[in-house]
Amino acid sequence: MSAGRLFDLLPAPVRDSTELRQALTHRSAAPRHNERLEFLGDGVLNFVIAARLYEMRPEAPEGELSRLRAALVNKDSLAAIARGMDMGAALSLGEGERKSGGHRRDSILADALEAVIGAVYLQEGFEVAQRFVLDLYARRLQDLPSAESLKDPKTRLQEWLQRRGLETPEYRLLEVTGKPHDQHFRSACRIPRRGLECVGEGSSRRRAEQAAAQKALETLAADQEEA
């Protein structure tokens, strides 16, 4: 079992522990898998990041802190951290998941990393788990984005329209393709009073709508510049 930098960051007693093996075991591989540890690690991760953001941004309102935390602990961020440490190579997966590329799937990587955090907490306690999380997030905490940039495209689009007295956009699911575990969505964002409809695509309905809203924002901004 080897996953490069992950094992360099782990406390020595955890590296060959039963808890770590369980944390890296997907439910498709064995009855004793990582879902309970994932639940525990999720709680530890959210608290540690929330506490650090509270210290780093003493004047930030609750909404800004919530958006910052969500950006740091979401599936995409967790999967990117896990992928950067080659965690996929250390995962125990069932045959079906292995054949379908489960070791590269964001959801599996993100869940496994949360489970590893849970394993560290169980074996070494909160202070060690806190240091582990902050080591994982050191670079991201140094390069925090602005509060405005963290608003998702649907929120920014709605605020843009509201400032101009326009109605909220309408979203419509156009198409769902792919297998149940690997679906692809196409959604439309329509702004009737502007005669505008943009189509977005993504791995979930929400992501497709976000992509469509982003295209609508870009189109509206371009139209405004030309006016």
What is the number of structural domains in the chain? Answer: 2
What is the arithmetic mean of pLDDT over 12-34? 93
Residue 64 sits in the same domain as residue 29: yes
- Ligand-binding annotation for 16, yes or no, is no
Residue 111 sits in the same domain as residue 29: yes
Helix (H) or strand (E) holding 183: strand 182-191
Show which of 131, 146, 161 is a domain's final residue: 146
187 neighbors 208 (Cβ within 8 angstroms):
yes
What is the arithmetic mean of pLDDT over 66-84? 93
Residue 1 reports pLDDT greater than 50: no
Residue 135 sits in the same domain as residue 167: no
The answer to whether residue 114 is catalytic is: yes
Per-residue model confidence (pLDDT) at position 3:
55
Which alpha helices (DSSP H) does the chain contain, by range?
5-9, 18-23, 35-56, 62-73, 75-84, 95-99, 106-124, 126-136, 138-142, 153-163, 205-226
What is the arithmetic mean of pLDDT over 202-209? 93
Show which of 146, 177, 194 is a domain's final residue: 146
CATH number of the domain where residue 171 is located: 3.30.160.20
Residue 163 sits in the same domain as residue 124: no
- Ligand-binding annotation for 223, yes or no, is no
Residue 95 sits in the same domain as residue 201: no
Percentage of the chain modeled with pLDDT above 90: 70
Per-residue model confidence (pLDDT) at position 204:
92
Question: Active site residue: 19, 97, 114, 124, which one?
Answer: 114
pTM for the model? 0.73
pLDDT in tens, 120-171: 999 999 999 999 999 999 999 998 887 777 788 998 899 899 998 988 999 9
Per-residue model confidence (pLDDT) at position 221:
84
Residue 207, CA distances (Å) to 70, 102, 201, 210, 215 in order: 15, 21, 7, 5, 12
The answer to whether residue 42 is catalytic is: yes
CATH number of the domain where residue 93 is located: 1.10.1520.10
Domain span including residue 160: 153-226
Show which of 114, 146, 178 is a domain's final residue: 146
Instruction: List the single range of 5-9, 74-78, 88-92 with lowest mean pLDDT.
Output: 5-9
Residue 33 sits in the same domain as residue 76: yes
Residue 44 sits in the same domain as residue 133: yes
Question: Active site residue: 19, 42, 97, 209, which one?
Answer: 42
Residue 9 sits in the same domain as residue 110: yes
- Ligand-binding annotation for 35, yes or no, is no
